[in-house]
Each structure stands twice: as C-alpha cells, then as structure tokens.
Amino acid sequence: MTDGPLIVQSDRTLLLETDHPEAAACRGAIATFAELERSPEHVHTYRVTPLALWNARAAGHDAEQVVDALLRWSRYPVPQALLVDVSETMARYGRLALEMDAVHGLVLRSTDLAVLEEVLRAKAVVPLVGPRIDVSTVAVPRTERGRLKQALLKVGWPAEDRAGYVDGASFIITPAGPERFSLRGYQQEAVEAFAAAGSGVVVLPCGAGKTLVGIGAMAAVGAHTLVLVTNVVAARQWRSELLARTTLGDREIGEYSGERKDLRPVTIATYQILSARRGNLYRHMEVLSAEDWGLVVYDEVHLLPAPVFRMTADIQARRRLGLTATLVREDGREGDVFSLIGPKRYDAPWRDIEAQGWIAPALCTEVRVTLTDEERMSYALAENEDRYRAGATARSKLAVIERLCAEAVRRKEPALVIGQYLDQLDEIGRRVGAPVLTGKTPERERETLYERFRRGDIPVLVVSKVANFSVDLPEASVAIQVSGTFGSRQEEAQRLGRVLRPKADGRQARFFTIVSRDTIDQEFATRRQRFLAEQGYAYRVSDAELVSWPT
C-alpha cells in the first residue's frame, strides 16, 4: 500500500481524493483514459470506459502507459482483472482496419480472423459490406465507409481508418506574416497531430485559439475547405479571423447561411442551414456535399446536429477536423464523433493552458439562494416537468444578481448575465439597466451589441444561450449564470469559456452560478460542474447573503 491519491476499483471506477497533495498530477494522468462521473467536495469518481480507452489509443497512448498510471497513483493494489481489461480493450482498436486496395478499392482487413468472422455475422454490419475477397479481407462499398465504422464501434470492434483521403480541389491557404499569425506550442502540436492522421478531434479550452488551429490545418491541407459553425455570428468571426490571419481576400471566402449562399474556395456554413429540410430532402446539404472539398472543419463539434452526422457519414474520403472545448455530448453520441469525425488527436488540459498564461485564471462560485416561503410552496406544488423552471427563475435570485452586477460595474469588470428563460432575462435586464440579447434579436443588432460591449460602451450584457458558444468577447471578465439547460456539462464549460480569454491587465475571471437551495436547480448545478471539476476547477459555495467578490 502507498499513499497515492487514487483508489482503483474492479468495477472500472477510480476514486480521486481531491485534497491529496498529488491530486492535480494524478488527475492529469488519468484524464486521458477515464471519464469523470461525480465531483463532490472531497472524492471525485472517474470511470474507465471503452470509448475513453480507444480515444487514448488513437491519440498515441498505449495500454502500458495506462497501466503504469493506475499502478503509480493507486493507494491500494490495483485489481488484476481491471489491468487485463484495460489491455484487452485497448488491443481491440486496430484489429480491424479500413484500407484502400489497388484492385478491390475500399476493404476491411483483419489480422485476427475470428474477429472478422464475428463482425461479419453482426446484423448491423451485414448490409454494409460487400463480397469476401479472401480469408482476411472483405470488400466495402465506398458509400458505406462511415456507417460501417459506426456499426463496428457499436459491436465493440472499432476499426482504424487507414483508407486515406482524396486531395480535393487544390487551393493554397497562406498564413500572414509572423506579426499576424504565429502558433503557440500547443497549437502547433495540435495541427501536427491532425495533419499526421488526416481526421480527428482537437480539444482545447475556450479562449485557447481553436480557430488558429483550424487555420493551421487549412494551410497544411492546401485545398478547398468547408467550415461548419454554430451560427451566423460565428461565421462572421471566422471570416474576420481568416482575413486577418491569412492572405485570403474577400472574394475567396464565402458564407452559406440563411442570409447568403456564396460558394467559394473557403466556404463557411452554419449547422442550421445544413439541417434545414424541405419534405424529406436536405437541399443545402446536397449542394455543399457536391463540392470537391479537401477539408471539412467542424467548429464546436460537440454540438453537431444529427443531420450533419448523416452528411459526414457520406464524406469519409474528405479530411475532417473537429474543434471543441469538450467531447461531452448530452445526447450520448460521443461514439459517433469518434467514428465519423475521428478519434481525439490532441487534448490540452485547461489548467495547463492557464498555467502557461494563454487563458485567464478563473474563480468559480456557486451562490445559493434561499427561497421565500411562498416560492418554496409554489415549487413544491409544481408538476415535475415544471420544477426546474420554478427553482431556476425564482425572484429571490434577483437581489444577488443586482448586487453582483453593481459590483462588476464599480470595479469596471465587463459582465455577462447568462440564462435560459427569456422572461427571466427580460426582468433582469430591466432591473440592472442592461440590454438583453436572445435568439429573437436580429443578427445585425446582435453584432452591434457585441461590438458595443467589446468597446466598453455596455458594462453589463444580458444574454440567452445564443451566447454559449462561438462568440468572441475577450473583454468579458465576469459571468453570472442564472439558469441553464438542466444539468448540461457542455453548457457549463462553454459559459465559463466566455470569460477565459486572457486580460490585458492580468486580472482573474470570475464565474458565478446562482442556484436556489433545496431544489432541483441545486442538483442540476452539481451535475453541470462535472466537466470543469475534471479540468481542475473548484467551486466555492457561498450563501447569497454573504457572497463576496472572490480574490
């Protein structure tokens, strides 16, 4: 027995003692192959899952490294059965491989004949493969490359895709000079990891420069590129970055959205336009899929809608890069990201990037509000489906929100108030004298409000979930979260990310989440914090009457 911070259990759970002096180092070691499940104050629970192990394997980690980490940090002897499971699970990745054969085209090969026989008898696999070529090889229709990878993952035998990629229409994308474009060390590593593989996901914190990684990948590929983004605001931000960071001109960058339909060598399209359907046809998806792209970039890949997964299954011969701050998907489709976009190729822990000074240090505070007797009774009498809203929108939150906004203004720290429910946001806007930006706000007005906030003309901006992602507001240093999408971990990460861009004066970011005590609002807050806890952030809990400005 040692004094390590980790307890490894035979059910694949890992218990991390957060107060241990080596907890941070241990967290960094296990985060590459384990997923955080629960994060109360003193002991965090991780689980070693097959998908996490396969992502680790695809990112270059082998079973020996995983086993060494478990043995190095565990306080007690590691169950031998778990060590065997880790080795065997990681060994499953790559036993099947998709390759291009000079004679037969796309094929599925295996060095393990029993595995090949097993998967070829799986009902989900049978319609996706062609005739048997030899004892170790089966033909695969090129159109089924993506769907076959999905099916193989689901039967527990993920295929390594070695079939290569078409070059697409050539188009040189040249970064501007070093005064306008230079990659930090971790950004260069991310670009190189992607370029070596040809497809996959890069995971970096909000504010760490994922767009620059995308531009670096575009320059490395040198072909017509389709960039898929969450909304028109994000599309315009990508356009601005491309114009500022490369030698591309206006006529070489197109926007394909609800407002414009321009196809250019570099085209930026929104997920909404791709998902727009008339009858059973996705007409815009057909238009974009017909182009000879050499690279498709998926911004905020954790938000990829289902129709875009279907399109992606059909374009597996194109290089694909996913960019995200978290691979967490609330719909559980992480496996489809792995299969169709590609495995995780690069991941930099948030705290590591913070330690290098590339994102602002953040102080997180959960402010608990006690409901009035009337509010508490109203909550108790609410139907189950209405209880979260009843707790999240309690008027008792308003006083502490006003207090925090006033303090932010006094300290000249630009603040975002972020919430889910429009009537709640409208009332907050009236109470604190701030404009309110929601999905109903016209695009031109949104851009005007964002620009006024950047200039400092607006000290407090109240926003709905439209500002959760792909909005560049580097001046924001305070975020006050008043309600959210239930227990969404990805949303929590995105909202903290709004204030993580480094500040010119070096000040810390402050993230407040206001919750109603003894309600489901408090329970959901705990769930929401799981991903950030995995990244090493701790939430200080404060009573609304006693809350102070964290320092």
Domains of the chain: 6-92 (no CATH), 96-161 (no CATH), 185-349 (3.40.50.300), 360-543 (3.40.50.300)
Distance (Å, whole) CA 29 – CA 65: 9
Q: Which two tokens mark 313?
A: 């299954």
Residue 36 Cα distances to 253, 391, 429, 449, angstroms? 40, 26, 36, 37
- Contact present, 148 and 108 (Cβ < 8 Å): yes
Distance (Å, whole) CA 390 – CA 137: 59
pLDDT at 41: 65
E strand or H helix at 284, and its extent? helix 283-289
Taking the CB of residue 49, how many other CB atoms lie within 10 A of it? 16
pLDDT at 470: 55
Length of the chain: 551
Q: Which two tokens mark 544?
A: 């609304």
- Contact present, 248 and 266 (Cβ < 8 Å): yes
Distance (Å, whole) CA 194 – CA 152: 23
Q: Which two tokens mark 173?
A: 């994308």
Distance (Å, whole) CA 418 – CA 483: 7
Q: What is the pLDDT along the chain (551 residues), one digit of tens a residue?
A: 578 999 999 999 999 998 899 988 898 889 889 887 776 668 888 899 999 999 999 888 999 999 999 999 999 999 999 999 999 999 999 899 999 999 999 999 998 999 999 999 999 999 999 999 999 999 999 999 999 999 999 999 999 999 999 999 999 999 988 888 899 999 999 999 999 999 999 988 878 889 999 999 999 999 999 999 988 888 998 999 999 999 999 999 999 998 889 999 999 999 989 888 887 788 888 898 899 999 999 998 888 888 888 889 889 999 999 998 877 776 778 889 999 999 989 888 777 888 888 888 888 888 999 999 999 999 999 888 888 899 989 999 999 999 999 999 999 999 999 998 999 999 999 999 999 998 888 888 888 998 898 888 999 999 988 776 656 676 788 989 998 876 677 777 778 777 778 777 777 888 899 999 999 888 888 877 876 776 677 788 888 887 777 66
pLDDT at 371: 92
The SS3 assignment for 193 reads helix
- Contact present, 208 and 249 (Cβ < 8 Å): no
Cβ partners under 8 Å of residue 260, min gap 6 = 254
Distance (Å, whole) CA 418 – CA 512: 10
- Contact present, 313 and 289 (Cβ < 8 Å): no
- Contact present, 82 and 10 (Cβ < 8 Å): yes
Backbone φ and ψ of 83, nearest 5°: -60, -40
Helix residue ranges per DSSP H, 290-419: 306-313, 334-336, 350-355, 373-381, 384-392, 397-410
Among 445, 492, 435, 427, residue whose Cα is nearest residue 465: 492
- Sign of the Cα torsion 17, 22, 24, 27 reads negative
Residues 504, 509, 513: CA angle, nearest 5 degrees: 155
N-to-C CA span, the chain: 39
Place of tokens 């495995």: 343
Backbone φ and ψ of 535, nearest 5°: -85, 0
pTM of the entire predicted model? 0.81
Distance (Å, whole) CA 372 – CA 318: 57
- Contact present, 181 and 174 (Cβ < 8 Å): no
Longest dimension (CA), the chain: 77
